[in-house]
Amino acid sequence: MSPQRRRFLTDTARMAAGCVLAGSGLAWLARDARALPAEALRPPGALPEKAFLAACIRCGLCVRDCPYDTLSLAELGEDGAATGTPFFTARDVPCEMCDDIPCVAACPTGALDKGLTDIDDARMGTAVLVDQENCLNFLGLRCDVCYRVCPVIDEAITLEVSHNDRSGHHAIFAPTVHADHCTGCGVCEKSCVLPEAAIKVLPTRLARGTPAEHYRKGWEEMEEKGAPLVDGVIDLPDRLPGPGTDNLAAPGGFEPAFKLPEGASQ
Amino acid sequence: MKAKTALPVGQEAIREKGWWKAYRFLILRRASQAVFLSLFLLGPWFGLWLVEGTLAGSRTLGVLPLTDPLVLLQGLVAGHWPELTALTGALIVLVAYALLGGRSYCSWVCPINPVTDAAHWLHDRLDLPKGWQPKRHTRLWLLGAVLATSALTGTIAWELVNPITMLHRGLVFGLGFAWALVALVFLFDLFVSRRGWCGHLCPVGAFYGLVGHKSLLRVTASKRAACDGCMDCFAVCPENHVISPALRGKGAETPLILSPDCTNCGRCIDVCSVDVFAFTHRFDPRIEATPEPSPDAPDEMAA
Ligand code: SF4
Ligand code: SF4
Ligand code: SF4
């Protein structure tokens, strides 16, 4: 091998090795950057995180056009989201769900998808009532604030009434989120009156489970079919509340076969 | 090594042409850098929203989109086909730099340039050694590595560390710890590698160099016959290997500086006391004959 050729080859090998090293370093950072922290929410219409990081050029035009200063660009080492990408923190400034969605209109790349034309279809995250032990409504009070402020009231949050076992004769109005309608705007989290919100908007991947594919909801399928799924099934009488519960008046109840010893807890 | 002449670099030019003409392009360049930055700052500071966004993507007067073509290219290889607005913006930028010289971006727009220039100034002052000098084409390799990483990770990879957009975005939107990266570039250029960042490593400069490969705007050494061999142009040029072919060309060899590495900074025009250099276009082959080339001009130049 001639010296020049040898030199050329070693130089090239050295350069390639350096580039592989630099590239791996970058790739490592890129992997890190994908881990969007739970409290950082993307603007409406944002592509799924992985696609978003390929699309968003970090120009900040969405931030500029948000009339409520909801959005900001992540700063290096201070905010968890990938540096320079737009995000918001619901408890600081939630998304006010503008009808004309200016942030999406501003985005030059399509990182915020122009296919989002109705802000009610936005899915920035999903609200979860994370702390039933501190939620005032769960304690039996009528706070209702999260329910009242929700822009999709009565669809995204409803108040589900149940008996208050503690007082014995009041109701509990449990704020209940319906993920199919929740946009993840974060207004409920922002408005929760507690020092630390009992209702929080989480990224949907954290907020939700997925249905088990093999588990079929018989009652839904029966409704679809309009008849029992399996022919000839005998429908046995249901056991209704009756004696032994506090609903002694209900007809058709059964007397328990034996009485619990006096003083035993139920 | 730099051939030291009787007078420090640039002194002769000041004496011959006056202070303004000896610093003209440096001052214009700093002014241009300041204007490009302040256009973006007028909005957040004074509520004058002429230009919104950052260098990566902006909107001027509410209509004109501009997009950094390298950022967009990374997005493309990462698998995102951008919307028309961003594509249009990138096209405008590409055409502009294809005409004006790709690396004009480096010397007239880039916010990191004042940082590395400052490092170089201090480097000269302290008379520090050259340090590590990787090959000039290292940056092309790095550009390749950046695009490959974007493709493999599906992210706009360079933006995770790019000190240019970090500094710019930082000044316009909030800096975070991005200043540390900028400090790193400064220290690298000062202690590790003389003119290392812009001259050898930066993939953005490499990209713009490719864009401006056949650019219209060029510096010419048309009066090269007048050169007295003071070497001041070599001392101020950030990419001084580009000068020799034009300045030392014999006979009909082109006087144009055709290397895509030339940043069109114009400093050589400033510091030449006999005005060898000038801006022109690439189809201007004029060589102004001065009867007698200076006899003491060295014939072999070290780049
Ligand atoms: S919908 Fe409105 S409030 Fe919400 S992020 Fe976009 S611009 Fe801001
Ligand atoms: S406007 Fe689009 S590309 Fe620009 S920062 Fe916002 S999401 Fe990213
Ligand atoms: S985040 Fe809260 S306020 Fe917003 S839509 Fe969902 S439940 Fe309603």
Q: What is the pLDDT of residues B194-230, one digit of tens each?
A: 999 999 999 999 999 999 999 999 999 999 999 999 9
Does B296 fall in a domain?
no
Predicted confidence (pLDDT) at residue A105 exceeds the cutoff of 60: yes
Which of the ligands is closest to the CA of residue A61?
2
Predicted confidence (pLDDT) at residue B289 exceeds the cutoff of 90: no
Number of domains chain B contains: 2
Which of A142, A171, A176, A180 shows the shortest CA–CA distance to A159?
A176
Which of B31-45, B56-70, B93-107, B122-136 shows the lowest mean pLDDT across its residues?
Answer: B122-136
Q: Are residues B258 and B156 part of one domain?
A: no
Q: Are residues B133 and B32 part of one domain?
A: yes
Residue of chain B with shortest Cα separation from A63? B53
pLDDT of residue B145: 95
CATH code where residue B276 lies: 3.30.70.20
Does B144 fall in a domain?
yes
- The number of CA neighbours under 13 Å toward the Cβ of B301 is 22
CB-CB: which of B56, B160, B172 is closest to A30?
B160
Decide if B153 and A30 are in contact by the 8 Å CB cutoff.
yes
Question: Helix (H, G, I), strand (E, B), or coil: what is residue A212?
Answer: coil
Question: Helix (H, G, I), strand (E, B), or coil: what is residue B112?
Answer: coil
pTM of the model: 0.85
Distance of CA B92 from the midpoint of ligand 2 (Å): 19
Predicted confidence (pLDDT) at residue A55 exceeds the cutoff of 80: yes
pLDDT digits (tens, 9 = 90+) for A154-164: 999 999 999 99
Distance of CA A184 from the midpoint of ligand 3 (Å): 5
* Token representation of residue A221: 């399928």
CB-CB: which of A18, A26, A64 is closest to B161?
A26
Does B10 fall in a domain?
no
Does B303 fall in a domain?
no
Q: What is the Cα–Cα distance from B244 to B287, expressed in whole angstroms?
A: 15
Q: Are residues B226 and B181 part of one domain?
A: no
Q: Are residues B110 and B48 part of one domain?
A: yes
DSSP assigned state of A75: P
pLDDT of residue B290: 61
* Token representation of residue B188: 């690298």
Q: Are residues B261 and B200 part of one domain?
A: no
B78 min Cα distance to partner chain A (Å): 5
The stretch B124-147 carries a mean pLDDT of 92
Q: Are residues B262 and B205 part of one domain?
A: no
Atom 8 of ligand 3 has which residue's CA nearest to it?
A150
Q: Are residues B37 and B158 part of one domain?
A: yes
Q: Final residue of a domain: which of B152, B176, B211?
A: B211
Q: Are residues B24 and B77 part of one domain?
A: yes
**CA dist list (Å): B181 to B140, B156, B160, B178, B186:** 21, 18, 11, 5, 9
Range of the domain at B257: 217-281
Distance of CA A37 from the midpoint of ligand 3 (Å): 19
The stretch B35-63 carries a mean pLDDT of 95
Q: Are residues B176 and B102 part of one domain?
A: yes
Q: Are residues B48 and B34 part of one domain?
A: yes
- Band (A82; pLDDT cuts 50, 70, 90): confident
A146 min Cα distance to partner chain B (Å): 32
Q: Are residues B273 and B205 part of one domain?
A: no
A123 and A184 Cβ atoms separated by less than 8 Å = yes
- Please tell me which residue, A30 or B6, carries the higher pLDDT value: A30
Q: Are residues B223 and B203 part of one domain?
A: no
pLDDT digits (tens, 9 = 90+) for B153-164: 999 999 999 999
Shortest-distance atom of ligand 3 to CA A97: 4
Does B291 fall in a domain?
no
The stretch A33-60 carries a mean pLDDT of 93
Which of B265, B247, B190, B242 shows the shortest CA–CA distance to B32?
B265
Does B275 fall in a domain?
yes
The stretch A124-128 carries a mean pLDDT of 97
pLDDT of residue A257: 56
- Please tell me which residue, A134 or A32, carries the higher pLDDT value: A134
List the beta strands (DSSP E) in A60-145.
Answer: 72-73, 86-87, 126-129
Q: Which residues in chain A are closer than 8 Å to B153, comparing Cβ atoms?
A: 26-27, 30-31
A108 min Cα distance to partner chain B (Å): 5
Pocket of ligand 3 contains residue A207 by CB under 6 Å: no
- Band (A45; pLDDT cuts 50, 70, 90): very high
pLDDT digits (tens, 9 = 90+) for A196-230: 999 999 999 899 999 888 888 888 888 888 887 77
pLDDT of residue B296: 53
Predicted confidence (pLDDT) at residue A248 exceeds the cutoff of 80: no
Does B290 fall in a domain?
no
B80 and A109 Cβ atoms separated by less than 8 Å = yes
Q: What is the mean pLDDT of chain B?
A: 90
Does B86 fall in a domain?
yes
Pick among A58, A85, A107 to test the B interface (most B CBs inside 10 A): A58
Predicted confidence (pLDDT) at residue B302 exceeds the cutoff of 70: no
Q: Which residues in chain A are closer than 8 Å to B196, comparing Cβ atoms?
A: none
Question: Helix (H, G, I), strand (E, B), or coil: what is residue B64?
Answer: strand
